[in-house]
A and B are shown apart, each in its own frame.
Chain A
Amino acid sequence: MRLFVSEGAPGSLPVLAAAGRVRGRAELLISTVGPEECVVPFLTQPKVPVLQLDSGNYLFSTTAICRYFFLLSGWEQDDLTNQWLEWEATELQPTLSAALYYLVVQGKKGEDVLGPLRRALTHIDHSLSRQNCPFLAGETESLADIVLWGVLYPLLQDPAYLPEELGALRSWFQTLSTQEPCQRAAETVLKQQGVLALRPYLQKQSQPSLPEEKAVSNEPEEEELATLSEEEIAMAVTAWEKGLGSLPSFRPQQNPVLPVAGERNVLITSALPYVNNVPHLGNIIGCVLSADVFARYSRLRQWNTLYLCGTDEYGTATETKAMEEGLTPQEICDKYHNIHADIYRWFNISFDIFGRTTTPQQTKITQDIFHRLLARGFVLQDSVEQLRCERCARFLADRFVEGICPFCGYEEARGDQCDKCGKLINAIELKKPQCKVCRSCPVVKSSQHLFLDLPKLEKRLEEWLGKTLPGSDWTPNARFIIRSWLRDGLKPRCITRDLKWGTPVPLKGFEDKVFYVWFDATIGYLSITANYTDQWERWWKNPEQVDLYQFMAKDNVPFHGLVFPCSALGAEDNYTLVKHLIATEYLNYEDGKFSKSRGVGVFGDMAQDTGIPADIWRFYLLYIRPEGQDSAFSWTDMLLKNNSELLNNLGNFINRAGMFVSKFFGGSVPEMVLTPDDQRLLAHITLELRHYHQLLEKVRIPGCLTQYPHHIFDSGNQYIQVNEPWKRIKGTEADRQRAGTVTGLAVNIAALLSIMLQPFMPTVSATIQTQLQLPLPACSVLLTKFLCTLPAGHQIGMVTPLFQKLENDQIESLRQRFGGGQVKVSHKPAVVETVKTVGPQQIQMLMDEVTKQGSIVRELKAQKADKNQVAAEVAKLLDLKKQLALAEGKPLETPKGKKKK
């Protein structure tokens, strides 16, 4: 037999490793062919590796070739191995090829590569640790191990891509990597060049499209698909029957909210928005809205919850803005602080306090931390070369310099950080620097400054991380960023600036200087709390009793996960440090970035002018929250989600359930006599509710939003459909009773949904609760059990539709209005539009419509109908196709020219 391989083809690795099995049993010749050579006569597209058998037949699947080698050596197939191999082909391979392509061909790094794969890697890790075996299919190494090891090797051989929290995966991988056939295969294929050895092959391939994005992590629920046990059903029935009686007594909101020993105390912060910008949708979803969902959820759990945020007000940007508008910096801050506060109020963000950083408390706490650091020898003094614009007669703050990034060559890098590669930059290292105000070239001048001695604090930081990270809910991107900082080694960081608008530095010789915003902005959380209550230290110097959750976009991770913890650890004052650091990726707008200056995208203050209710914005933004990878706001997708998920599905179910009560039972919840089927439904819903809790506790927002309300009203819908209360109501006495039970259960499911939706859509939730007249204690608590909260005899109120349809022309005109003249902005090479896909049913519906419309067009053409009429129908067809492509998460087909695959 003859094996055909190609330089750098990733499939060669498992095949060569498995070939060790046939040594001495059969003759194996190896030929190298070009990546575009068609070896298999019946396949249109080139494929390697390929095994030509002595019979003349071909095996063209990598896995099948490995399987054949194993079969020749006497191995027998088993279910578990088959399962792993099928999983490899259908689940792992699509994400893995995309990841390798990003890394090797597009030069992406870090979370961009690892993000899409994490779910699959975690699956392997969990399976290994659960079954407590060293190998995938048991005690000894087998086919599944060789195939998975081989396909993963190019990526995982770089330790940066072998997440350390996945210990079982790590040791499995390392065990296999040291075995002789594997080692030899790795050397032959990668030639000690690492993953770059795959380049000659991969760059000849078309870009693999990432499979439709799925909800993050549902490992726990996968295991629990098992059928419901009698015991579970009995427990669900007991809980249901107890009803309102099992609710804890109503607790009025405390003021101020303070932690209580022995209870769960949750402190939530959202990154402080910089005062002189109106936030765009990406800023809103990145922190305030995400944190709001968690804060509302936390209150529903009856945890003592304090949610705070505020505007970050110091710095040159404010000074400049003040000059522009002819106001003082203080006046500018007052003005914009109110604009921010109004926007968040409109979005229904439930802050306990929305403060600001320009307060006496800020000065007091910042200077105190500084004095402590100084006294303990963690502050250095040094002279700094700084950019000074002679024309503007001032030192330029980092964000007032632009130039070429010294690391990646990006042309619009800011003085402090490059937007493209994300590296922090020292402003004087920028190539071709420019003053952003006057565009002249600044000169380098020297000035005395203070530095935080991070290298001296590094050991404490690592100790703290070592204790905090395991088992915490730090997002993977945050872990990755911190890990890469530590790997590169920490350097002293300048904490002062030559400015006036800032917290004064309390040290002789530094009277003209202020603290750099990144030293004191994170202290803003403390001072804002201090302005809320004089007992602020019960939150901030109480690490044992307080769980601190901090929400932000990923560019803020270094300051929250590293700089502030170092300051706090160095100050030695028992500060509460971040326990769960929740960072998002970026949200893009349609196919580019949000840009205020180009007028592209929707900004916070404009959302309210669109006529679309705040809850719809909240729902859609949370649905596409960039968790794990960048995502994009799309008008069409928003319309689709509103009209399908909300209007047709959720709204329809809740409305029907309420209408049945009003129409058939005079608005009074009927008597419910549960059958065994109903009892199973109770247990099933209890199970779904438990999964909802699991996801929200881990702050998996889209994961939760796309699955759980859906699963529950789906079960409800099915239940009604099967039982047909609208027919039974006209039947015999027994039929009428059955109709009553079904209606009663359905309306109780609607009541449960109203509470589950509260973190996401508070207004809609309140509307449902008013319509159903849900008793007050039930509105503010979400237990882990499904209770009967609307008992027989309960009177509900007026039931009206909850959602409004969004029309195509309405959305089109909004797109025009916010599109910024359709300027194509593309800073990144290929922003993948990761529109979430809709359900298969809908795709099927759209497909059918496309087919139908297609035949209309063909018929018209065949009849040689009027040109305009044909054009109109063709336009409809194209629009449908576009919707379908969007629904399937495919890139839109470009009309010009045919792309050869």
Chain B
Amino acid sequence: MAAAAELKLLEKSLGLSKGNKYSAQGERQIPVLQTNNGPSLTGLTTIATHLVKEANKEYLLGSTAEEKATVQQWLEYRVTRVDGHSNKEDIHTLLKDLNLYLEDKVYLTGYNFTLADILLYYGLHRFICPLVWLLITPVTQCFSSSDFTSR
């Protein structure tokens, strides 16, 4: 349940103290957040956006209409393009496009650091730096049941 680990990390960096409970849904292990007041929330970017609001750090979602739409656009990009099963060729195109886009920018929205930067960073780690990915993947996922047999 890698998405839950990612959300835990996000909670930490947002300074949220109370630990939320996450479960995972379906084959793609989409994260689900159980909230005390109201229905559960489903989906990585939906939950991440919610956490940012909970931490009173709305500025991370952009301040103008343009910024807000841009942040959400890159969040969508993260879950559709970056998380999609990409082959090497696709990953190469994706990195090339991002590189070109960022040539004249500091962050994805220009000069302001936002949630989009955080989640895209996490997402890209998977192919840029497999070791870090391994670190944020919970231990249970690294143990397959065949390890268990050989014990």
Contact = CB atoms under 8 A, between A and B. Distances in A.
A888 interface: yes
B100 to A, nearest CB: 4
A90 B41 contact: no
B43 interface: yes
A42 B80 contact: no
A361 interface: no
Contact of B80 (A53, A72, A89, A652): A89
Given A86-B45, A841-B144, A59 B69 contact: yes
Nearest to A54: B66
A83 B76 contact: no
A203 interface: no
Closest 6 A/B residue pairs (Cβ):
A64-B73, A68-B69, A71-B65, A86-B43, A42-B100, A42-B101
A837 interface: yes
Residue of A72, A77, A652, A842 with highest tally of chain B CB at under 10 A: A77
B18 interface: no
Given A61-B76, A67-B72, A90-B79, A226 B40 contact: yes
Given A86-B43, A214-B27, A840-B29, A721 B148 contact: yes
Interface in B28-51: 29-30, 32, 34, 40-46, 49-50
24 contacts: A42-B100, A42-B101, A59-B70, A61-B76, A61-B77, A67-B69, A67-B72, A68-B65, A71-B65, A72-B65, A79-B50, A82-B45, A86-B43, A89-B80, A90-B30, A90-B79, A93-B80, A214-B27, A222-B26, A648-B149, A649-B145, A845-B144, A888-B85, A901-B89
Contacts, number: 123
A18 to B, nearest CB: 11
A43 B68 CA distance: 21
Given A61-B73, A89-B76, 18 more contacts: A44-B96, A57-B66, A68-B68, A71-B69, A77-B68, A82-B50, A83-B43, A85-B76, A89-B80, A222-B26, A226-B40, A227-B34, A648-B149, A652-B145, A656-B148, A840-B29, A845-B144, A888-B85
Given A64-B73, A652-B145, A717-B148, A837 B41 contact: no
Contacts of A79: 41, 46, 49-50
A455 to B, nearest CB: 46
A240 B77 CA distance: 48
B114 to A, nearest CB: 14
Interface footprint category on B? 35 or more
A561 B44 CA distance: 44
B97 A43 contact: yes
Interface in B100-118: 100-101
Given A42-B100, A61-B73, A222 B46 contact: no
Contacts of A890: 85
Contact of B76 (A53, A86, A214, A840): A86
B27 A68 contact: no
A225 interface: yes
Contacts of B148: 652, 656, 717, 720-721
Contacts of A726: 151
B17 interface: no
Contacts of A901: 89
Nearest to B146: A648
Contacts of A55: 66
A87 B66 contact: no
A477 to B, nearest CB: 23
A422 to B, nearest CB: 31
Given A61-B77, A845-B144, A82 B89 contact: no
B13 interface: no
Nearest to B96: A44
A718 interface: yes
A619 interface: no
Nearest to B27: A214
Contacts of B27: 212, 214-215, 837, 839-840
Interface in A627-653: 648-649, 652-653
Residue of B25, B70, B72 with highest tally of chain A CB at under 10 A: B72
B26 A218 contact: yes
B25 to A, nearest CB: 6
Nearest to A727: B151
A649 B147 CA distance: 11
A218 B25 CA distance: 10
Interface in A165-222: 212, 214-215, 218, 222
Nearest to B109: A57
Given A652-B145, A653-B145, A57 B70 contact: yes
Interface string B62-91: 000110111011001101100001000100
A45 interface: yes
Interface in A836-854: 837, 839-842, 844-845
Contacts of B85: 888, 890
Contacts of B151: 726
